[in-house]
Amino acid sequence: MNLYSLPPFLTLCCFLGLAVLTVLRGRKTKVNFLFIIICMFGSFLYFDILFAFNATSSETALMISRIDHFFIIYLFPVYIHFFHSYLNIPGKKWLVRLAYAFAFILMWFIPTPLYIESMQKYTFGFFAKGGALYPLFGIGGLCVTIIVLTLIYQAIRNEKSSVQKNRLKYVFAGFGVMGVMNGLNVLPILGYSVYPPGNFSFIPLVIFAVGLFKHDLLDMGVLIKKSLVYSLITALLTCLYALIITFTNRLFTGFDFSDSMFFHLLFFLLIAFAIGPLKAKIQGLIDSIFSKGKYDYKKTIKNVSRMIASVLDLDEIAKHLMDTVVNVMKVDYCALFLCDLSDFGCKYFAAQGKYCNFVSSISMTGSDSIIQHIKRQGLPAIKKKLMERSGDPDIPDVLSDMNRLYAETVFPMIFDKRLNGFIVLGEKLSGDLFTPEDMDLLETLSSQCAVAVENARSYKLIDDLNKNLEKKVEERTFALQEALSEKERTQEQLIRSESLAAIGQLVAGTAHELNNPLTSVTSLIQSTIEDLSQWDNKMPLDQDIINDLKFADKELDRARLIVASLLGLSRQTQTYTEAVNLNLVIEDALRILYNQYKHSDLNIIKNYAENLSDIQGNFANLGQVALNIIKNAIQAVDDRQGSIYLTTGYDNNMNQIFFECRDTGDGVPESIRQNIFKPFFTTKEVGRGTGLGLYICHEIVRKHGGAITLENTDGHGARFVVRLPVMD
């Protein structure tokens, strides 16, 4: 075998290797069956070329070539048939049938000189010389090659999946380019002294083989490993070394120094130093191709394990998982779904990458096909493998769920035979398939994340129990405090009730005791007035004395009425009612209080309504109300230059008479406004107030069917308003 035989020999080995691999590992599909036929026809073709290069007789070479072409003539129709099936092109079956018909018709002319006229001798060996009909075979091959390349190119442009697009590129660079190279074999057949370019078809076949292992082009489930590549490189370099030795031995045969031991030693050293660096360079190239973008498996697992041991927060676990998968594995999308503790279904928890905005609202129930599938299998759901089983009854629904999740692979997170959730992965950014190393890492990640999720949930459950316990303790403590506060309020009300009862008894006794001297003094003054009125005109008296005595009698009568009202308050009954003019009530109160403010720098401004209607009530009781309110105002502006505004009027809307007392004192603080009408509440120092004045006013006004209020003055003094209904 000469050196020219090496390229067709390597091409023959590639065809046979691909055929054997497809038979042993390929599935029984139409595509694989057609691929095996192509490899077998290619093997026949290059066996014919290899035999012709080394044949010594042109007749023998011609016979073998014509026998081989009975099969080789069908290479192009099978070729186009294969790509129609591989690309799943609907229709155009007429084109495949036309190609088979063309090959069948041409087959009958193969034994005649019209197809292969003879064998022509070239420097590289014998090669067939085409007859008159051979250009038809060349034109047919050219048309088939153009059609196939166009179909693959259109498929690459229309394909959206980066994985499938990469697979088609390898097919284009492998079998597509090989078709062009074999088509150029027509040059030596037409008589041109050119080495057949198709003999170098092993180059595109090697490219196709790389894609076959790296991207599983024929769905064999065989992914390439660097160790296998290194072994193949070593075998090829060994063959190359043997060929070089054989060629050199023949080249230097007959020279005197060829038999010298030193020549063989020198040649061995040269080959050793050349083969070693060449092997290192090729291995570096293989590493750059197959290990591009790879990760350190052990380092990644170590980092994830450290995270699992230290993190108990689901958000942190999800973030670390997303970063690990997206950045280390170089995928375009990753999502995490966690199952409910009730095992009802799985809900979206976190995502990163391309489709994260589309899956954020997705939730999967326990009855969804993908959930049932990964529960039942306990293994990752790989879209590519599931598509190979699309004929199974439940697989289409599983694929539909994976499409809804934009998933290429789904990894279950199983802990203690229970599904804690699942990890959704998209495609790799490089378009490569997931290698066995990738799958090992991802399965380890999913298992460790299942443990991490379980630990985080357990921690959260314990933390929630502690918080609930603290909350219940706070609620119980608050309830006890409320009960104690209510008890204190009840006790305070009881004390006030008892105090009011005691005050009532005291007032009742005092009133009875005061009634006797008041009655005696009233009788004495009335008798004195009558006696003075009957005096002789000879002794005229000062009229002011009589008026003062009458006023004293009136005030004594008023004192008696006040005592009577105190008795009424103590009995919680009204003594009697009469027509009362509110202006007169206020004037009487001012006359009584005159001695308290006559020495003060106090300005009292009166604004009484004229012709004010009478109200039905008790003059003495209402006088007590006016007396207490005005007295408080005087005390509020005591020892300063201040003013008190007294106003009466009629409210048409409410049909009420009102009395308003406003001072320019310090006012009533907002914090105690709600307490001023309560009994025994006072802001005065000890000895100056009992806390009953406003309370008594409030009770008297309430018994008259009215209301007493403290109005807002924006911090400028106090403003009390008494409203009483008008007498019908």
pLDDT digits (tens, 9 = 90+) for 215-228: 777 766 655 455 55
User: What integer best gives the mean pLDDT of the chain?
Assistant: 77
For residues 447 and 214, the model is more confident at: 447
pLDDT at 477 over 50: yes
Q: Indicate the burial class of 1 (C-beta count within 10 angstroms; 0-12, 13-18, 19 or more).
A: exposed
pLDDT at 41 over 80: yes
pLDDT in tens, 262-321: 556 666 666 666 666 666 666 566 555 555 445 555 666 667 666 666 677 778 878 887
* Mean pLDDT value of segment 434-460: 78
pLDDT at 658 over 90: yes
pLDDT at 211 over 80: no
User: May I ask the CATH class of domain 3-223?
Assistant: mainly alpha
Task: Work out the angle at residue 448's Cα, subtended by the Cα atoms of residues 447 and 453, and round it to the nearest 5 degrees.
Answer: 100
What is the DSSP secondary-structure string of 603-643? Answer: EEEEEPPTTPPPEEE-HHHHHHHHHHHHHHHHHHTTTS-EE
In one letter, which amino acid is 252?
Answer: F
Residue 585 has a pLDDT of 87
Whole-structure pTM value? 0.51
pLDDT at 634 over 50: yes
CB 126 within 8 A of CB 52: yes
Task: Work out the angle at residue 375's Cα, subtended by the Cα atoms of residues 371 and 381, and round it to the nearest 5 degrees.
Answer: 70
- Nearest CA-CA partner of 425 in 382, 387, 361, 367: 382
pLDDT in tens, 403-417: 888 888 888 888 877
Residue 243 has a pLDDT of 62
Could you give the CA distance from residue 678 to residue 305 in angstroms, rounded to a whole number?
70
Centroid of chain to Cα 32: 45
pLDDT in tens, 54-88: 888 888 888 888 888 888 888 888 888 888 888 88
Residue 607 has a pLDDT of 92
Which of 203-207, 270-274, 302-306, 492-496 reaches the highest mean pLDDT? 203-207
Alpha helices in 324-435 (DSSP H): 356-359, 369-377, 383-388, 395-404
The 3-class secondary structure across 67-93, one letter per residue, is HHHHHHCCHHHHHHHHHHHHCCCCCCH
Could you give the CA distance from residue 269 to residue 277 in angstroms, rounded to a whole number?
13
CATH of segment(s) 574-725? 3.30.565.10
pLDDT in tens, 511-564: 666 777 777 777 777 777 777 776 655 556 666 777 777 777 777 777 777 666
216: phi > 0 → left, psi -120 to 50 → alpha, else beta; which?
Answer: left
CB 48 within 8 A of CB 65: yes
List the structure tokens of 16.
Answer: 């046979």
Alpha helices in 159-201 (DSSP H): 162-171, 177-183, 186-189
- Nearest CA-CA partner of 147 in 216, 89, 108, 71: 89
Could you give the CA distance from residue 207 to residue 221 in angstroms, rounded to a whole number?
18
Could you give the CA distance from residue 200 to residue 6 in angstroms, rounded to a whole number?
9
Residue 468 has a pLDDT of 78
Could you give the CA distance from residue 430 to residue 432 in angstroms, rounded to a whole number?
5
Pairing of strands 642-651, 602-607: parallel
In sequence order, the β-bridge partners of residue 71 are none
What are the CB-based long-range contacts (under 8 Å, 24+) for 621-624?
621/565, 621/568, 621/700, 621/703, 621/704, 622/580, 622/582, 622/585, 622/700, 622/704, 622/724, 623/558, 623/562, 623/585, 623/588, 623/589, 624/562, 624/565, 624/696, 624/697, 624/700
List the structure tokens of 530.
Answer: 């009558």
Percent of the chain with pLDDT over 90: 3
CATH of segment(s) 297-461? 3.30.450.40
CB 333 within 8 A of CB 353: yes
Query: What are the sequence ranges of the domains in the chain?
Result: 3-223, 225-292, 297-461, 574-725
| Alpha-carbon torsion angle 318, 323, 328, 331, nearest 10 | 80
